[in-house]
Amino acid sequence: MIILSSKKKFLKISFILLFSFSLLPYKTKADAFVAHLFFNAKTKTLTFDKLSSENISRDKNQFISVQEFSAAQTSGEYILKLYDFAHKEISTMQFDKKDGAFAIELPYFSLAKTLKIFQKSKGQEMLSADLSQFSTCNGNGICEFEKVEPVIQNTATKLWRP
């Protein structure tokens, strides 16, 4: 009787713990895109960093929460936007320039085709980069797992959802 009672208690506690952990919010994580930028204070121009081997790179060791990135309220002189293969906006962020070379990190999106940077005050496009080399979805609206096309899903606004 005592053994049976302790087994029931153990099962109850185990079930409660498992159920409690299942209620914790799940955080979507993704690899990171890194934009390598350079601001020349004399000419007041923003360019890609010519000393960097790539204008945009994908860092598979850096993880940025898509949900936290999308929920973050950013402001700045420049607007960075990611577009998919249908030229629809996937994500946007604002940032301020820093003198000299600097990097902007943002989540990797499997459908991202183009990165564009605009000067906020003028609404003028300053920089553009093709991201199709990093894309894992072919833009047909369906990320096919059998073709190793992962989907980044979440409930944030302006993010692509299948």
Estimate to the nearest angstrom the gap between the alpha carbon of 79 and the chain centroid. 15
Q: Is residue 16 part of a domain?
A: no
Q: Is residue 57 part of a domain?
A: yes
Predicted local confidence at residue 140, as pLDDT: 58
Q: Is residue 12 part of a domain?
A: no
Q: Is residue 99 part of a domain?
A: yes
Q: Is residue 75 part of a domain?
A: yes
What is the model's pTM?
Answer: 0.65
Q: Is residue 154 part of a domain?
A: no
Provide the CATH number for the domain around residue 38. 2.60.40
pLDDT greater than 80 at residue 27: no
Q: Range of 70's domain?
A: 29-147
User: Around 144, how many Cα atoms within 13 Å sit in the side-chain half-sphere?
Assistant: 5
Predicted local confidence at residue 5, as pLDDT: 64
Q: Is residue 14 part of a domain?
A: no
pLDDT greater than 60 at residue 22: no
> What is the count of structural domains for the chain?
1
